[in-house]
Structure 1
């Protein structure tokens, strides 16, 4: 499964990068790929390309704030979740997405 997404927390620092790291690491451990863009106090980093978005099976938005550029994901399966949920159980989240959304 190819996953793309955005991580963003209220301060745009710690939880943003922890969520990104946990999602990417969990995806790899489960045999998937993940590319996560961050949006925070220093702006957007690792911005997703249109090609990456087009190739993705699912979009995960791990955010505690309003993010910009959601319209890029029109027509995609999108899961929106707080960063705390991603940080606590990234593998469980990916497994649930695979079971409920991608195979549906």
Structure 2
């Protein structure tokens, strides 16, 4: 599975990066390909490119802040989730996404 994500929080500091780290860790432990773009107080880091979009199964977006460039994810299933849930319930979130995508096959 190939997961893309964009994390952002109202202050753009700790939670943005905590969520990115939690997603990367859990996805890699499961053998998933993952790339997380952060939109923090210092701007966009690890930006998702056109090449990254190819073959993506899902995009996870935090819903606590407006995400810049959401239009680039057109045609890819998008999951909007609270940043706190990404940090605290990463495994459960990925379980639900996998179950949902498998039910669509």
* TM-score w.r.t. length of structure 2: 0.94
Rounded to whole Å, the distance in 1 between the matches of 2:32 and 2:22 is 13
Unaligned runs of 5+ in 2: none
Unaligned runs of 5+ in 1: none
Shift of 1:102: 4.6
Q: Which residue of 2 aligns with 1:14?
A: 14
Shift of 1:96: 0.7
For residue 55 of structure 1, give the secondary structure of its aligned residue in structure 2: coil
Q: Which residue of 2 aligns with 1:70?
A: 70
Q: Which residue of 1 aligns with 2:42?
A: 42
Show the 5 A alignment for 1:1-104: 1-104=1-104
Cα RMSD after superposing both structures: 1.0
Shift of 1:103: 3.8
Distance 1:3 1:27, change over 3 A: same
Q: Following superposition, which runs of at least 4 residues in structure 1 exceed 2 angstroms of deviation?
A: none
Shift of 1:101: 2.8
Rounded to whole Å, the distance in 2 between the matches of 1:92 and 1:86 is 9
